[in-house]
A and B are shown apart, each in its own frame.
Chain A
Amino acid sequence: MGQGAGVTEPLLKVRGLGKHFASAGQTVNVLSGLELTLAPGESLALMGRSGSGKSTLLNILCGLEQPDAGFVSIAGEHFAADSSASGPNQQRWAMLRRQRIGVVFQEANLMPALSLLDNVRLRASLAGQSDQYCGDWLKRLGIGGLAQRYPDQVSGGQRQRAALAMVFAMRPSLILADEPTGSLDARTALEVAGELFYQQAASGCALVLATHDSALAARCGQRLDLAQLGA
């Protein structure tokens, strides 16, 4: 479904995207007239200081927030701002998140009452993937020995590795990562980011990475500075 269309069409296309919030009586324009194009396998770094709208954009790109203006097209599914919140569109977004779009946040990516392995299995099964390689994904990300541990029994870096294992086990077309190494110390952050780029290249999926670390941004094919855009 939509796989063939990805060859001729870009995986991700955003046109004229706008989003504002009303807070304390005045409206804040977070995004306006934003344009993006990303082909399968490409990577894009979203940059900008805190509050520049990186998380807002990623949430719009996976349907968890609705834009006020513009148009988003992902993996052959098209969403216009005016009808984005409708029931059928919410179901299409849910389907995309289940099967095509892997999302990694700064933290809290794992079900707290499931072991690391069961977390990966759950994510794979929701995406319709066999769960027989889930243990392998944990090994590939260097935490094969922690499969039976619960999220609160491992370190922050190990939790983020498990989160990456979950995302890759679903075999996504697009990964949205919102400062995935933001809560880690510098050395662990470098290791986890290395895994992310390595597995992304190996699996051929596209990546949108929100980060304010310019070293990480430099490793992406494209860069978009939201702070400059808004200013």
Chain B
Amino acid sequence: MSLIPKSLIPASQFSNLFSALFSHYRRHPLQLLALALMIMLATMLWAGVNHLTTQARASLGQSEQAVAARSQVERVDGQALAVADFVTLRRAGLCVIPWLEVERPGQAGRLVGIDPLAADCFAQTAPAAGNNSPELIDSPEPSKKSEPAWTPTLNGEPFIDISEAAALAQNVASRNVRFSLLIVPPEPASALLADYRMTGFSLGPDTGELGDSFLLNLDALGFLVLLITALLLRSVYQLGMAQRRDSFALLQRFGVMPSAINRVLLVEILLLALLSVVPGVWLGRLLAGTVGGGFGQALDSLFDTPLYAGQSENWLTPIVTMMAIVLAVCLAQNVRALLLRMAAVWPFALPAKLLTGFGFGMRPWPWLAMPLAAAGRR
């Protein structure tokens, strides 16, 4: 399929027309370089952030699953659990373990008191292996299940006997004491007594909410990076177009149809985008890998679990996405109108206003483009 219909311009003249139009960049190589670098930078930052977000999302999903694998018992009537509940449930033949969490103000960390004897049935029915996510509680090998001394660790800190924890709890404000009953979900679930229900059990802060807000921030960062670089790119591209407008008029006088000129410009920006986006994605992965190390450690200590899962291999999505964005940004005539519409939606109001100059009585494009224009003009 020929890109240029014969009626517009013979196919043999496509390369002539292309090189005639491209001559602008041959005479202003810095402008071309600025365009390529900007596409590359936008791609690198966006692909990098996007890569991290994808990884973090996958990892958080995994760890949430792991946490959700633990269950606890709650009273249906909403009352706090007491020792009597433990007795009732144990008598019903259910595997429950008392879990007394005591926060000690002024001293780092919390203590968890458990009943080693009650923990025995827990160890025997430890969550099935095959879950590749980190275990919250270390459990013994199945072969050692007969040994009563089960000493799980949390943060490397040993659990203490529940009686010790209860003694400590006497000296601590009640809001710093949490009593829970962990349960091995019975088969069938209906075996649970009618007065109780099961919910997920998680340690410490709710990783779900924290993780969500963290991901939202990453998404917002990616969006802002993309918005700013895209607008810079557009201003440089539009500057070049303004400088070439006389050439377009001249070519039209030479008998080249405007549609043929547009097609050549489309091919030009497609080539430029492809040549800049591919290395940009590569650099983005490099960035995500470099940042990912320290970033992963930060995540780990934030959530007590290894979260950064490493690199996956998806090239097509970022390349296609960035190509589409570059085309849209450079060729769409109404990006400013789009931004003004976005300014009506409050989260985008300030950046959109800043970038369009709307409400500030100025046009920002020339200012944004000026240093690059100076470079491109030689």
Contacts and interface: CB of A to CB of B under 8 A. Distances in A.
Interface of A: 62, 64, 90-91, 94-99, 103, 108-114, 118, 122-123, 125-126, 128, 150
Interface of B: 7-10, 13, 16-17, 20, 23-24, 26-28, 246-247, 250-257
28 contacts: A64-B252, A94-B8, A94-B257, A95-B255, A96-B255, A98-B254, A108-B246, A108-B250, A109-B250, A111-B247, A111-B250, A111-B251, A113-B24, A113-B27, A113-B28, A113-B247, A114-B20, A118-B20, A118-B23, A122-B20, A122-B254, A125-B16, A126-B9, A126-B13, A126-B254, A126-B256, A128-B10, A150-B27
Contacts of B247: 111-113
Contacts of A122: 16, 20, 254
B240 to A, nearest CB: 11
Contacts of A103: 253
A91 B28 CA distance: 32
Contacts of B17: 126
Contacts of A98: 9, 254-256
B24 A97 contact: no
Contacts of A91: 7-8, 257
A128 B9 CA distance: 11
Nearest to A64: B253
Contacts of A110: 250
Nearest to B247: A111
A126 B257 contact: no
B262 to A, nearest CB: 14
Residue picked from A97, A122, A128, most chain B C-beta under 10 Å? A122
Given A90-B257, A97-B253, A126-B255, A111 B8 contact: no
In the complex, the 8 A-B pairs of residues with the closest C-beta atoms, listed nearest first: A98-B255, A97-B255, A113-B23, A113-B27, A94-B255, A113-B24, A125-B16, A114-B23
Given A94-B257, A113-B26, 10 more contacts: A91-B7, A91-B8, A94-B255, A98-B254, A108-B246, A111-B247, A112-B246, A113-B28, A126-B9, A150-B27
B253 to A, nearest CB: 5
A200 to B, nearest CB: 19
B29 to A, nearest CB: 11
A228 B23 CA distance: 45
A207 to B, nearest CB: 17
Nearest to A98: B255
Nearest to B260: A94
Contacts of B10: 128
Contacts of B257: 90-91, 94
Residue picked from B13, B23, B253, most chain A C-beta under 10 Å? B253
A113 B9 CA distance: 21
Contacts of A96: 255
A195 to B, nearest CB: 20
A97 B8 CA distance: 12
A111 B255 contact: no
Nearest to B5: A91
A95 B8 CA distance: 8
Contacts of A118: 20, 23
A7 to B, nearest CB: 24
A95 B16 CA distance: 16
